[in-house]
Structure 1
């Protein structure tokens, strides 16, 4: 009889434990959802204030489980904000992803939609197609007779290749410039490594023109200012387009 009663008590305790875990899990997910909604709303406001449009988003993810332990500590592992096809300063991006780490916020402020949410470190990744990169190219010291809009851009053997049609004194030739994307003072430019043509034997005056401009030709990408005052650190090239990586510290995610 006593054994039977003990078994029943054990079952009741197990059931209560399961119910308690379930309640805590639901409460944890509700709290996480509320926080995501708050950050998404703040992001929409900031983007609208800066005339940034987008096809979808902002999609907000909060890393780490359980969430409530992060709330109690007032510090969050990582918050990711994603935008699909954002347009910034009339420049079309394919995607923009922002990862915020060491995020601090008062628990009550976060849940009530008040106060500040501050990230100690933010990293952004922006991608765009070569068609859109082409529109942002800025040339300095182009040879005479070059139409910048006619310049073709693609990736060949992991190098950026520019094909620049030139008309000079009735002669037509395509200059082929190869190099890598580099970042200097937060700006993306093409560091040229070689400049040739699509033809072999050229008239001397054409060769002279190419040689005279070979070391002077400069190409940069006029990128828009990124949200959260992100500063560009590096640029990577793919067959489909350009990937820009940027970062910032001590960023205010809400109330900007």
Structure 2
């Protein structure tokens, strides 16, 4: 009985040491992966890296990690000199093949996501205009609402409006419902699907030239693959999936 008790004590002690060593190895690996992702993507901040599964050391010996999650505080997007924050940037990576130094890591499957709030999206809107939720029916079509005082929107884009035309417009507000698409994985394109009838011939084309614009997302790591955008009440949600995605460049 005494021998069994001593054996159990040794098992608990060595088990605890193994768990401690395993967790320390995970911490080191997470830091190493974060450094390499930051360096390869040219990020200004360190990404959060979480390696799932236990024990970790047996995964390393098998040169394959079950799952790795990467998250960023946010990256920048730009449109006509305006900076816009992209938040909730995440990547979920599965079946990650690695080498012993983590200099090479390739995910068999990768799922990425990100979000731009309407408050942030409005920072990229034409001067004098705002961008907001277009309602459930139009959001289902991938549309957002771009609106603002007509004269402010046009003059904000450098369009000169004679006083006689201003009087005719009478403080009219223009509302365009723009379809949002994602081009090339890093460019958000807003294109007016509908415009209101305007009392001045040719003005609708001027308005369209102003409200149609692109928003370029900068600084996404190669692990974040985006190919789909949906409009929701809290902003634009981006998602995408890929295979054989490199974590390190």
Fold in common (TM above 0.5): yes
In structure 1, which of residues 108, 111, 129 is the aligned counterpart of residue 117 of structure 2? 129
**What SS does the corresponding residue of 1:232 show, helix, strand or coil?**
coil
TM-score by length of 2: 0.73
User: Residues 91-145 of structure 1, C-alpha deviation per residue, up to 9 Å, x if partnerless?
Assistant: 4323322222221112x323xxxx31222333322222323323445xxxxxxxx
Rate the CA distance shift 1:214–1:166 in 2: closer, same or farther, 3 A. Answer: closer
Q: Distance in 2 between matches of 1:218 and 1:232?
A: 24
Q: Is the 8 A contact 2:112 2:223 kept in 1?
A: no
Any idea what the Cα deviations from partners look like across 1:196-240, whole Å, max 9, x if unmatched?
A: 47xxxx7xx34x557778998873441224221744311123333
Larger radius of gyration: 1
Counterparts of 1:28-47 in structure 2, within 5 Å, are 28-47=22-41
The TM-score, its normalising length taken from structure 1, stands at 0.72
Deviation of 1:83 after TM superposition, in Å, equals 1.5
Q: Which runs of 5+ in 2 are unaligned?
A: 152-160
Query: Paired residue for 1:141?
Result: none
The change in CA–CA distance for 1:196 and 1:88 in structure 2 (over 3 A counts) is closer
Look up the match of 1:165: 149
Alpha-carbon separation, structure 2, partners of 1:39 and 1:76: 12
Residue in 2 aligned with 1:140? none
- C-alpha RMSD of the superposition: 3.1
Task: Report the Cα distance in structure 2 between the residues aligned to 1:119 and 1:182, rounded to whole angstroms.
Answer: 27
Q: Which has the higher contact order (CA 8 A, sep 6+)?
A: 2
Size of the aligned set, in residue pairs, is 222
Q: Deviations 1:54-91 (Å, cap 9, x if unpaired)?
A: 4xx42110111121221121111111121113336654
* Alignment partner of 1:118 is 2:106: yes
